[in-house]
A = this chain, B = another copy of it.
């Protein structure tokens, strides 16, 4: 296969240690693969062209007794393989103590432990050079209506994040937080279930500028939401701090397929938004992080094929959206659909509502005027298909 789609570090592609290291345990069956040595992860990712790796505390240093030894080996491997740690995150969901959440557990003692655990791993993230700290509150939620007082839970979530923001500021760490929404699974319903809910919540924090989002493709598509629209709104608010790419087939369990291997058209438009769409909206220039799970059918070697494929698909789609947006026939079709006219304010400078109300409108003409969106979309689809 062509080398065009082999990444280089400047593409800023990144993987969670827990993704390629997933051993395949699910509700219905046990591990199918051996434990992955984090050093092997670094070496393999580097050889495939990734730029960075990320971790939860429990992935990298589950055992205090060997903590420093593990970190020394890991740090050496990072340096040797030119791999950065761009992001870190805390596991507040696997241990049974977190069965009712971390920051919002009804058990105050658990909440206190969760904050301590997060702070400790923020130190490690800073030490490893991460500038983004992700917070996925996977167990912050409920299965039933009385189990969680949502008002109090949002207070506690705010308290936890405010506390950690203050800590990061006090320590002088160059770290921003990125919240990762998810609607459900493993809890029946999770708090801050979508990009929108998390964006709204941020506004009520003490230090909203330090907090943004890490939206995951599958998490939004589990709610049937349009991921490209979601990240576009996050960017409109200046809040797309990080991104988790993977694949999903609509509302069902969290599939964590490799990027591209779910909603292919959605993937195309997601990359288009990251690339700034038609050129007037901002571009995303952070790391492109893959948060997926190699299916349980795959063996240890297959895992690396899936890692490679994630990156390859991203590069394929990036090339496609750039070509699409650069095509004069597309630009002509966009003009006929008045796409960029939407950037023009509805009211001219100095105009008032009274002016608009006294104007006459050719309603019949406006009603008949087609938008021609299907032609434009067919052009995009033919780029996806690679037939243009």
Interface string of A94-106 (1 = CB under 8 A from B): 1111111001101
For A64, list chain B residues within 8 Å (CB).
none
Q: Which residues of B lie under 8 Å from residue A377 when comparing CB positions? A: 143-147, 261
Q: What is the number of residues of chain A that contact chain B, defined by CB distance less than 8 Å? A: 173
Which residue of B119, B225, B301, B337 is within 8 Å of A147 (Cβ)?
A: B337
Q: Check if A15 is an interface residue, CB within 8 A of chain B.
A: no
Does chain B have a CB within 8 A of A32? Answer: yes
A43-51, A71-79, A81-89, A110-118 - interface stretch:
A110-118
Given A366-B110, A377-B261, are A385 and B384 also a contact pair (CB < 8 Å)? Answer: yes
Chain A 305-344 interface 0/1 with B at a Cβ cutoff of 8 Å (1 = within): 1100100110011001000100000100010011111111
Docked CA distance A147–B250 (Å): 20
- Chain B residues whose CB sits within 8 angstroms of the CB of A103 once the complex forms: 346
Alpha-carbon distance A18/B248, docked complex (angstroms): 29
Mind listing 6 A-B residue pairs with CB under 8 Å? A25-B27, A113-B356, A151-B235, A151-B281, A193-B226, A261-B265
A217 within 8 A of partner (CB): no
State whether the Cβ of A125 lies closer than 8 Å to any Cβ in chain B: no
Per the bound structure, the CA–CA distance linking A296 and B24 in Å amounts to 20
CB distance from A203 to the nearest CB of B (A): 4
Give every chain B residue within 8 A of A26 (Cβ-Cβ). 26-27, 186
Q: Which residue of B191, B273, B301, B370 is within 8 Å of A302 (Cβ)?
A: B370
